[in-house]
Structure 1
Amino acid sequence: MYNCLLVDDERLARSELKRLLKAYPQCVIVAEAGSGEEALQHLAAMSIDLVFLDIQMPGLTGLQLAEHIPANTQFIFCTAFNSFALDAFELNAVDYLLKPIAPERLAKALQKLRPANADAAPHFLAEQHGILLKFGDSQRVVRLNEISRFESIGNHAAVYTPYGKSFIHSSLAKIEQKLDPALFFKASRADIVRISAISHIEPAIADGGLIAILQDGQQVDVSRRQAQQLKQQFSAF
């Protein structure tokens, strides 16, 4: 079951989305908000698993609101404009639906959701787990704690190791499901880095995010949404 929050400054848009969601009993609408500011109050006051949010709203926009949504809360953008799609996925949105929302597109979006409040503990690979990687004409078993970074490249992922760069045929989303979040951090929709490989952090001048400098000199962009969470990784008090 997903506790859902609907955020849209247009009441009719919220009503239409409620109508469409009646076909999905697993989506329980627990609150509605007509502004980003009102949505923040609901997020602070109750447990929300899934947020449906418009982008262009007076005051706090949907993109700005998304930066304040807790990392474990999933969200789907519902908007009449397709020009914000890149920004939306940079914020790790589950999906980006154009109004009027087609029932089949809503169905596909809901299929992408992670289970809410899953009872079973996730199974993460151990630090010493070996991955067989190809380097030139040879293959080598590389331990997970030797990998500094996974980078999404189409339907593949580049794997950065002390022995060079290799590639695996897997999406970043599938890789993330197997990695312990205490050891690896999703910096953006394109990168996962090993936390212990981070040497220092610098502000990104352009977009308000961060740049993580790894011990091997690589520079990895950290999205605005993930920036605060990364800082918390290194906060002891």
Structure 2
Amino acid sequence: MKDTIELCPKLQLKQPFYIEEIAWLEGMGNYTTIYFRNGKSILTSKTLALFARELPKEVFVRVNRSFLIRISEVSVHKSDTRKYLSLVLHNGQQVEVSRRKKTLVKKYLRQTT
């Protein structure tokens, strides 16, 4: 498993970031905000889809169109009805899981608990 990731290789940013530092990623069109475990964040010009391909699948899961989350950052998952599932991260951020990803996310959550 890679332990670092480059944010923007075209600009040749010299400082790679350690994957262990990443808590979750939020995509906004052609940009992605990376949120780190220490509370800091950085905006990059790579799409969330590119990060989803680069980051380890056993650690990160895409829960909807806009979020890629480190499974270990989930503190609580709650299901309002049979249709909806939402995750609460350690920092209090709440993220809705899409209907298509609900089964996959539940599988990941079972593996970690």
| TM norm structure 2 | 0.79
Partner of 2:11: none
The 3-state SS of whatever aligns with 1:176 is helix
CA deviations 1:97-138 (Å, max 9, x no partner) are xxxxxxxxxxxxxxxxxxxxxxxxxxxx62x215469xxxxx
Answer whether contact 1:199 1:214 (CA < 8 A) is retained. yes
Q: CA deviation at 1:219?
A: 1.1
Partner of 1:187: 63
The one of 142, 154, 174 aligned to 2:50: 174
Segments of 4+ moved more than 4 angstroms: 130-133
Partner of 2:40: 164
Distance 1:224 1:198 in 2: 18
Answer whether contact 1:184 1:192 (CA < 8 A) is retained. yes
Distance 2:66 2:95 in 1: 10
2:81 corresponds to 1:197: no
Distance 2:26 2:61 in 1: 12
Unaligned runs of 5+ in 1: 1-124, 134-138
Unaligned runs of 5+ in 2: 9-13
2:26 corresponds to 1:151: yes
Answer whether contact 1:149 1:191 (CA < 8 A) is retained. yes
**1:1-237, aligned counterparts within 5 Å?**
126=2, 128-131=3-6, 141-161=16-36, 162-204=38-80, 208-236=83-111
| Structure of greater Rg | 1
Answer whether contact 1:131 1:143 (CA < 8 A) is retained. no
Q: CA deviation at 1:184?
A: 0.4
CA deviations 1:57-103 (Å, max 9, x no partner) are xxxxxxxxxxxxxxxxxxxxxxxxxxxxxxxxxxxxxxxxxxxxxxx
For 2:32, give the aligned amino acid: A
- How many residue pairs match? The answer is 105
Distance 1:177 1:217 in 2: 27
Q: Which has the higher contact order (CA 8 A, sep 6+)?
A: 2
| TM norm structure 1 | 0.40
